[in-house]
Amino acid sequence: MTGYVTVDNRLDIPCVILAGGASRRFGTPKGLALLDGLPLVDHVAMALSAQVRGPVILNAQAGGAYSACGLDSIDDALSGQLGPLAGIHAAMRWAERLGCPTVVTAPVDTPFLPRDLVVRLTEAGAPAVAQSLGRIHGVCGLWPVKDASGLEAFLESGQRKVETWVNSIGARPVDFAAPEGRDPFFNINTPPDAERAQESIG
């Protein structure tokens, strides 16, 4: 395992919630949309914090909409709005500064994350990426910080596709069950998605 288990069974691995997207399809910052009375960002932060002792922070624009959410944040280390891979790169560089060999990332719009996400990814070994219902969730994974320079070169070459990069580093897919067809990585991109998520929990 690339992290270690503490006395309370949480892993000592840092986590970054990716919230740098423009939320164009949602209309407002979707991580602040309410689900069961709480912002999506809180659902993701609580799911991760229950699994790790390492810090859980945001990748979001400094001084932006998430500045009041109560989490520390880091901006992209690369300029130019390069997409979610830039958030993963920023997470790697941040974890590297902490002296950590790996970092977990998860998107801000996935409020139903599995409660064993971090331990399952860690058991697989970095790099590892979540999968459910036959679909890879390329920004939800465990990444070795030593790959940061390679990701930086990938982005600076003009490439942006998450799937291409994930495949290029040989990330291992870790399959998670979807009880009764409910995808634990259901992501909320539009207001109707938020309505469906609310209906699913009553």
Strands 56-59 and 135-144: unpaired
pLDDT of residue 159: 96
pLDDT of residue 21: 63
pLDDT at 167 over 90: yes
What is the pLDDT confidence band of residue 1, given thresholds at 50, 70 and 90?
A: very low
pLDDT of residue 25: 58
pLDDT of residue 8: 66
* Mean per-residue pLDDT over the chain, rounded: 91
pLDDT of residue 183: 95
Write out the DSSP string of 14-29: -EEEE--S--TTTSS-
Dist. CA 183–CA 199, nearest whole Å: 14
What is the chain's Cα-based Rg?
A: 16
Write out the DSSP string of 144-163: EGGGHHHHHHHHHTT---HH
Dist. CA 82–CA 19, nearest whole Å: 13
- CA dihedral (172, 146, 74, 118) in degrees, to 10, reads 30
Q: What is the token pair recorded at 179?
A: 């009880």
> pLDDT tens for residues 62-89?
778 888 888 999 999 999 889 999 999 9
pLDDT of residue 201: 84
**What percent of the chain has pLDDT above 70?**
92
- What count of other Cβ atoms lies within 10 Å of the Cβ of residue 25? 12
What is the pLDDT confidence band of residue 48, given thresholds at 50, 70 and 90?
A: very high
pLDDT at 2 over 50: no
Q: State which of 168-172, 185-189, 191-195 shows the largest mean pLDDT.
A: 168-172
54 alpha carbon, distance to own chain's centre: 15
pLDDT at 47 over 70: yes
pLDDT of residue 91: 98
Mean pLDDT of 130-155: 97
Instruction: Kindly list the structural domains of the chain, giving each domain's residue range(s) and its CATH number in brackets, ordered by start.
Output: 15-197 (3.90.550.10)
CB 162 within 8 A of CB 138: yes
